[in-house]
Amino acid sequence: MNVFRRILLALWGAVLLSLSAAIVVFVMNGQIAESFFTATAQIFLSGDSMWLVLGVALVALVLGVLAWFGVFYRKAPQQMVQVESSEGTVINVSLTAVENVIKRAATDVPGICGVSCRLKVVDGGLGVHLFLTIPQGVVVPATASAAKATVEEQMLAMLGVMPAELKVVVDNIVDK
């Protein structure tokens, strides 16, 4: 979004510079101003070039709407988990980083070939829903409980946070 705003600022800056230069030229030389306004009146007031006028108006309208969108659009704030360090300071960790820790921990468990998770901030802390894909022939209860234990250990070791709720769902069993 920053690039979009910079482009709009550059565009409107160029428009304002061109307008101010034209005004200076018109003030300094009346003959240029008179010929410019005569040509403009012929283009915009004659019925022959109605589509050109409508095209210019449409481009101006689109640029105006984009400028207002760029100025007032705000990105939604990213959800964070607050973690207290051993020194007593509070550190904000994004849910994306927490999700990466969880996925890596669960993937390290033997017998798991795919992991996805859904996180939500709940009253008691962080809620984790872990979705596992395992190959056929693997013992589901043992693998699921190993994944749960590994995720809890890694979250505590890396983030210093225990999930308030950790639900494990085996949502797919695939061929080896």
pLDDT in tens, 12-52: 777 777 777 777 777 778 788 788 778 777 776 666 666 77
Tell me which of 52 and 87 has the higher pLDDT. 87
pLDDT of residue 87: 78
pTM (2 decimals)? 0.56
Least confident of 2-16, 45-59, 105-119: 45-59
Evaluated on CA atoms 18, 63, 11, 43, the torsion sign reads: negative
Range list for CATH 3.30.70.1350 in the chain: 80-174
Evaluated on CA atoms 163, 165, 171, 174, the torsion sign reads: positive
Per the CATH hierarchy, to which homologous superfamily does domain 80-174 belong? Cation efflux protein, cytoplasmic domain (3.30.70.1350)
Phi, psi of 5 (to 5 degrees): -65, -40
pLDDT of residue 53: 64
pLDDT of residue 20: 76
Token pair 């013992």: residue: 139
Mean pLDDT of 65-70: 70
